[in-house]
């Protein structure tokens, strides 16, 4: 059996163990969850806001405004941004930042504990390492995405507003178009996508951290592999989920 397939199976098995431990008592990981959540928010929130603003201002804003200006249709920018930000940019930016900042930190933390044999020592003492160590870090990655999503949308909208002002256009028509095209299904779809991203990133980060070997160099390799694999899976999930969402809700494909 190919080694990568064995790795996928072990990663899925670890995910099942973590989810089972998270929903069954005793819930002894509360304090660790709060501490890790505070650490993750402190590390990632500024990078996420800046990246969301930059993505909305640059690729979508500058180029999209330039194209619409050729037809004198800058008032349509609000409707386009309702799709760009909520459906694509905000979930993707959140996933990239969570994977690159929080996921790598979790992988490095678990990997360092693994090479120092701390996890083995805890097991010998009768401590459930999955429940006490892995579950809070897994849940932090999953929960921080939906929290960041709303701030990503706000930062993206701010980037769009700068584009509108830069093109000497009134903000009123832009905001009217944005809210006319916004809908609950789009927002719920973005939240579900972000949660799926979180589960994927958490699974890869925790598995790579727990399977480290080779000392400090092995930890570095595991962190690099976490980033690469997470980004590849984010792209794959984004494509598959997008196709499934549009097929399930054809109204999202209609021009409004």
In a domain, 6, yes or no: no
In a domain, 3, yes or no: no
Residue carrying structure tokens 């609000």: 78
- pLDDT given for residue 230 in this prediction: 94
In a domain, 9, yes or no: no
- Model confidence band, residue 122 (pLDDT cutoffs 50, 70, 90): confident
In a domain, 16, yes or no: no
Q: How many CB atoms lie within 10 A of CB 74?
A: 22
| Spatial distance between the Cα atoms of 96 and 225, rounded to a whole number of angstroms | 14
Mean pLDDT (the chain, rounded) = 83
- Interacting residues of 194 by C-beta distance below 8 A, sequence separation 6+: 91, 94, 95, 145, 146, 148, 149
In a domain, 154, yes or no: yes
Instruction: Tell me how many domains the chain contains.
Output: 1
Residue 60 or residue 29, greater confidence: 29
pTM of the model: 0.88
| Spatial distance between the Cα atoms of 134 and 17, rounded to a whole number of angstroms | 10
> Would the pLDDT of 164 be above 70?
yes
* pLDDT, mean of residues 58-72: 64
What's the number of CA atoms in the CB half-sphere (13 Å) around residue 251? 7
In a domain, 10, yes or no: no
What's the domain range around 173?
32-247
In a domain, 155, yes or no: yes
- Model confidence band, residue 8 (pLDDT cutoffs 50, 70, 90): confident
- pLDDT given for residue 207 in this prediction: 92
Joined tokens for residue 194: 């972000």
- Interacting residues of 233 by C-beta distance below 8 A, sequence separation 6+: 200, 201, 204
Rounded to 10 deg, the angle between the 90-97 and 215-248 helix axes is: 170
């Amino acid at each position: 059996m190919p080694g990568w397939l064995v790795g996928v199976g072990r990663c899925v098995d670890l995910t099942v163990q973590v989810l089972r431990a998270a929903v069954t008592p005793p819930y002894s990981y509360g304090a660790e969850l709060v501490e890790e959540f505070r650490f993750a928010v402190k590390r990632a929130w500024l990078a996420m806001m800046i990246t969301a603003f930059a993505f909305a201002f640059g690729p979508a804003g500058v180029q999209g405004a330039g194209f619409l200006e050729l037809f004198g249709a800058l008032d349509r920018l609000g409707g386009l941004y309702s799709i760009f930000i909520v459906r694509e940019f905000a979930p993707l930016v959140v996933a990239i930042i969570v994977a690159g900042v929080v996921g790598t930190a979790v992988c490095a933390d678990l990997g360092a504990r693994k090479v120092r044999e701390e996890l083995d020592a805890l097991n010998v003492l009768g401590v459930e390492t999955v429940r006490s160590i892995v579950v809070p870090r897994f849940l932090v990655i999953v929960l921080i995405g939906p929290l960041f999503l709303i701030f990503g949308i706000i930062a993206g909208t701010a980037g769009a507003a700068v584009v509108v002002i830069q093109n000497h256009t009134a903000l009123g028509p832009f905001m009217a178009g944005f809210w006319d095209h916004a809908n609950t299904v789009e927002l719920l779809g973005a939240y579900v996508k972000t949660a799926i991203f979180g589960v994927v990133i958490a699974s890869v980060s925790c598995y790579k951290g727990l399977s480290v070997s080779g000392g400090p160099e092995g930890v570095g390799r595991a962190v690099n592999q976490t980033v690469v694999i997470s980004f590849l899976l984010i792209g794959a999930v984004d494509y598959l989920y997008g196709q499934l969402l549009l097929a399930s809700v054809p109204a999202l494909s209609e021009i409004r």
